[in-house]
Every structure is written in C-alpha cells, then in structure tokens.
Amino acid sequence: MTGWSGAGGSALLAGLIAAVAWMQPAAAQGSGSALLDAIKARGQVLCGTADTVPGFSLPDSKGVMRGLDADSCRAVAAAVLGDAGKVKFVATTIQNRFTALQSGEIDLLARGTTWTLGREANLGLEFAWVNYYDGTGFLVKASSGVKSARALDGATICVQPGTSTELAINDYFRVNRMTFTPVLIADVAEIRGAFLSDRCDAYSTDASALATFRFSQGDKAKDLVLLPEIISKEPLGVMVRKGDDKWFDVVRWTFIAMITAEEKGITSANVDTFLNSNDPDVRRLLGLEGDMGKALGLDNKWAYNVIRQVGNLGELWDRNIAPMGVSRGINNIWTKGGLQYAPPIR
C-alpha cells in the first residue's frame, strides 16, 4: 500500500489540497484581499474624512455625518457589508490624513485630497477614483474692489499649509511674476475667521470650498466675491493603501457603479423597477447575471445595495452639493458634458 511519505506522496497531497481549495466557495477561501476580509470580520469600514466641510463631511444637528465624502464612504460600506450604515467616520486633518491611512488607522481616505503624481508615487497610497473635479480659486471682500486674481500682486493670502493649494498659488504667482505673502493657518475655522477679520486680503483653497463658505454666510454672502480665475486642476479623489489590489478594485468599482446607475437612469427610488430589465448592462450591474460581485469578492448584489441605500452619483450631488449653490459643470456625467465616465461592468 502506498504511503504519504516521500516526494511522490507530498506532491499528491499538495495536489489534493489545491483541488479541494478550488472547489470551495469564494467566501470560504477568502476574498483575495487581507483588508477586505478584515473589514468583513470587523463589520465596519473605517473612513477618514474632514468632518468640518459643508457639502463634503460635516455632522448635522443630530450628529449624523453629511456630505459627498461621507456618502462616498457609505457607498463603499454598502458594497462590502450590504449596509451603508456600517461605517465609522474618523476625523483627519491636513497634517495627519496620509499617516492615518498609511498606518491602517483608516481603510480609505475621502477628504478632498487632490490626485497628484507626487502623492501617488511617494506615499505608498493610490487614488481609486475622483469624486469631485475642482480647482484652486480666490475669495476676496467686495469692498476691496478686486475683480481678478491678477490684481492680487503684493497681497496677503490665507492658505492652509501642506496643501496642493499652497503649491498652486506659488506656481501661479511665479508664472505671472507677482509676489504675495502667505498667512499659513491649518484649522479651517481659524483660517476663515482670519479672512473675515481682515488678517489677509484673500482666502484661497478649492473653489468648491470657497463657494460653499460664501453661501454659508447668508445675507453677508454678497460682501464676498469669488474671483473668476481657476488657477489649477484639483481632481479630488478617494485614497487607499497600495499593495491590496482587490480592495482598490472594490473602492474604484463602487464609484463606477454609481456613475453607471446615473447613466442608466437608475436611482435609489426606482432601482427595484429595473430588476426585470432585459438590458444586459443593467442586469450585470444589479447582480442578476454575470457574477460581477463574486469577481470582486463581494455579494452579487453589491451595486444594488449601493444604489438602493446611497443612490447614484447624481443623487449624491443633488443631496450634498447642489444646496450649496454650486453648479455641477464638469462633475456631470459624460452624456451631459461632464468628466464622469463609467467603464463597462462586464
């Protein structure tokens, strides 16, 4: 009788183990992502946000986090855990946001962070998708009489240190042979207070943040002027750590699912009416055929859960950004003249 000892027996045993593993369901084998498996075991997605920015991440009067970044996190939780509520929001600052992600304190970062080569090449992090296309702008007092950024030569400008905005301002003034004096303040509330109390001539950050800040001033909004120049490209993305490709795929395709839903006219309110659709794209999106979820290490209803519980990308915009008085513009889907374009789910 043949035993299990020797090279031949070892090879046979290894082959049987591999065969048994191949026959096991994906859930039993694991998703192929250490982080995804850890999140499933934990039952919660840890998401880094700012928690101070209206329209993006700011608690409401009941302490519930609201905003585009917050809903981006909820969408990932719905895809992974089937429940958009299973997300823990972790407040991060400009200074510690990358460290928090690098150290594993958070699973993803959704904090108005600009996608740049330097960040992706040097930090061990990568951008899964862009949830807001933005650009650096300037806000001034109407009483200053300034109508253009070219009139800011010699001005003092309030800006957060360590941001892409600081770099963009330096580049803009250098190219235009102008000078300025930076007033560097890290805290958002403090920097806005400094601007309103005339510690600086202008306040510079992403144009969306300037527009929402101006809008938040109510009757005094007319006293503030958003200058027409947008001096940089600021694609604000959701970041993950490098080295876990499956987790990267999950976060990326969560956003693609929301764009696809908007392209198809599928919303949180009508998604169930599409369950009898004959459209192959819709059927794959909603998990009715194709095993797209299984390929990601998720339930095949992953995208259905995202749409039903959080909405399509347009719903996120209408719920969070539109009330701030910001035009959607290039953030629209491609069929409406914007940049959001979904690769096929197939």
| pLDDT tens per residue across span 154-199 | 999 999 998 889 999 999 999 999 999 999 999 889 999 999 999 9
Q: Which of 173, 198, 233 is the last residue of a domain?
A: 233
Tell me, yes or no, whether 337 lies in a domain: no
Please tell me whether residues 164 and 217 are part of one structural domain.
yes
Using only the alpha carbons of the chain, give its radius of gyration: 24
Question: Is it the case that residue 7 has pLDDT exceeding 90?
Answer: no
Q: Which of 176, 211, 233 is the last residue of a domain?
A: 233
d(CA 334, CA 339): 5
Tell me, yes or no, whether 20 lies in a domain: no
**How confident is the prediction for the chain on average, in pLDDT?**
91
Q: 245-264 vs 313-320: helix axis angle to the nearest 10?
A: 80
Structural contact between residues 125 and 104, judged by C-beta atoms closer than 8 angstroms: no
> Buried b / exposed e across 159-168, counting CB within 10 Å, b at 16+?
bbeebbbbbb
Please tell me whether residues 219 and 292 are part of one structural domain.
no
Please tell me whether residues 130 and 249 are part of one structural domain.
yes
Quickly count helices (H) and strands (E) in the chain. Answer: 14, 12
Tell me, yes or no, whether 182 lies in a domain: yes
Q: pLDDT class for 258, splitting at 50, 70, 90? A: very high
Question: DSSP states of 16-85 as a string?
Answer: HHHHHHHHS-HHHH--S-HHHHHHHHHT-EEEEE-S-BTTTBEE-TTS-EESHHHHHHHHHHHHHHS-TT
Please tell me the predicted confidence (pLDDT) of residue 13. Answer: 41
Please tell me whether residues 121 and 246 are part of one structural domain.
yes
Please tell me whether residues 118 and 172 are part of one structural domain.
no
Tell me, yes or no, whether 95 lies in a domain: yes
Q: pLDDT class for 9, splitting at 50, 70, 90? A: very low
Task: Give the domain CATH number at 290.
Answer: 3.40.190.10
Please tell me whether residues 241 and 328 are part of one structural domain.
yes
Question: Is it the case that residue 17 has pLDDT exceeding 70?
Answer: no
Tell me, yes or no, whether 318 lies in a domain: yes
The angle formed by the CA atoms of residues 89, 92 and 97, to the nearest 5 degrees, is 120
Q: Which of 210, 233, 256 is the last residue of a domain?
A: 233
Tell me, yes or no, whether 190 lies in a domain: yes
Residue for token pair 């006219």 = 265
Q: pLDDT class for 29, splitting at 50, 70, 90? A: low
Q: pLDDT class for 145, splitting at 50, 70, 90? A: very high
Structural domain for 308, as ranges:
34-134+236-332
Q: How many domains does the chain have?
A: 2
Closest CA to 297 of 38, 10, 119, 64: 38
Please tell me whether residues 309 and 177 are part of one structural domain.
no
pLDDT tens, 104-118?
Answer: 999 999 998 999 999
Tell me, yes or no, whether 29 lies in a domain: no
Residue 294 or 23, more confident: 294
Please tell me whether residues 50 and 66 are part of one structural domain.
yes
Q: pLDDT class for 20, splitting at 50, 70, 90? A: very low
Beta strand 125-134 with 108-114: parallel, antiparallel or unpaired? unpaired
**Beta bridge partners of residue 109, listed in sequence order:** 48, 239
Question: Is it the case that residue 31 has pLDDT exceeding 80?
Answer: no
Please tell me the predicted confidence (pLDDT) of residue 50. Answer: 94
Name the pTM for this structure.
Answer: 0.81
Tell me, yes or no, whether 146 lies in a domain: yes
**Helix, strand, coil % (nearest 5) of the chain?**
45, 20, 35
